[in-house]
Amino acid sequence: MIIKKLGFPALIISGLLALSTGTAQTATPLTCATVPSAADAWPEWKPGDKYALPVAQALERFKKAPSQWATYVTPGGHTWNGDYLGYGNQEVVQRWDLISLDDEDIPVVKYQGKYYRNPNTIAQNAFKYYGRFLANQKPEDKATFLKHAEALIKGQDGRGALLMPYPYKAARNMGEYPANWVSAMSQGQALSVFARAYNLTQDQKYLVAGRKALDFLHVPVERGGTVSNLGNIDPSLARYVWFEEYPQDAKSSASHVFNGGVFALLGLYDWSKVDKTRAGLEASRLFQCGAYSLESALPYFELGGYSAYDLGHLVDGIVAPRIQLIQYPYQTVHIYQLLAMYSITNKQTYLDWANRFSHDLGQGDVSIPAK
């Protein structure tokens, strides 16, 4: 979910899968695809003008409230210890209405009239203070960043899961998640915060927290975790893992959200660079697995002039594609995430799709500014 406070940059704040509090568990290695197989049966996908009306409506909404992908591109590209997606240039959370600060000055989000801590909102505000500190070296920005990192640790359970303390109804799911949800998006963004916190302090507690968060990313959805695969598109694609922003409930099927999955990948990449143990190697392996799934699935997000929020239209065959939420044009998010992935991997497919999505919006070719 993205919520936009008028006059301020968007905050991406996910609703997450409900999980009961548990204890730490040993991660089970995931098997996954990093190369194609002759058995892979990707479905034919030629949207043509099937979605012409919702695409036109989305583009019209974008014209009325445009956003710029360039605002969220870090000069020189994404690095594990640099300004996260240009967040250092964004407005930090104040005491607004929908999003506010609690009595410890940690971000909270209003749901059903009550304020709750949301790990994604906390992480994203942390990135803003981290980026500010890199730019100005003010001790107060560093201190505030680390305070946010501490809040994330406090929100972690014994399994390493970042919990959400309120119920939520995800759009693609049949049922409502009860309180204490998790999401791969939260796990990934927490990894990116912990990597930067350890970089600043060399404090072992951030390594401990990051390894716990990484361990939980191994837990499959059917065991209450956040990792699934594309086997619900075709059984032959079960090797293709996806880190789910909204893991399915018992009556639903995983929808493979674009932005939440990429935020998880960025966290895995960041952790692979800071952790010099087997955990770092495993984070690198999971990044490669998830990145290959993303590369392979990118054409299926194209709806003929606009990108889909997820792949739900391939999964159940009965719902229309989610092109964008009313509050925020996710196509912009997809563009700057693809540029981050391109800067990490140097794979042309990410740049090509970023250009395509940018041209859909009439914004021309994309680029990563030099440092």
CATH number of the domain at 2-360, please? Answer: 1.50.10
Q: Which helix (H) or strand (E) holds 151?
A: helix 139-154
- Centre a 10 Å sphere on the Cβ of residue 178 and count the other Cβ atoms it contains: 13
The structural domains of the chain, with segments of one domain joined by +, span 2-360
Contact 92, 101 (CB under 8 A): no
List the one residue out of 347, 185, 176 whose CA is nearest residue 263.
Answer: 185
Quote the pLDDT of residue 317: 66
Mean pLDDT of the chain: 90
Specify the range with the lowest mean pLDDT, choosing from 16-30, 38-52, 104-118: 16-30
Contact 218, 29 (CB under 8 A): yes
Question: With the C-alpha atoms ordered 355, 353, 74, 255, is the resulting torsion angle positive or negative?
Answer: positive
Quote the pLDDT of residue 259: 96
Above 50 in pLDDT, residue 26?
no
Give the pLDDT band (50/70/90) at residue 251.
Answer: confident
CA 126 to CA 370: how far, in whole Å? 24
pTM of the model: 0.92
Above 50 in pLDDT, residue 9?
no
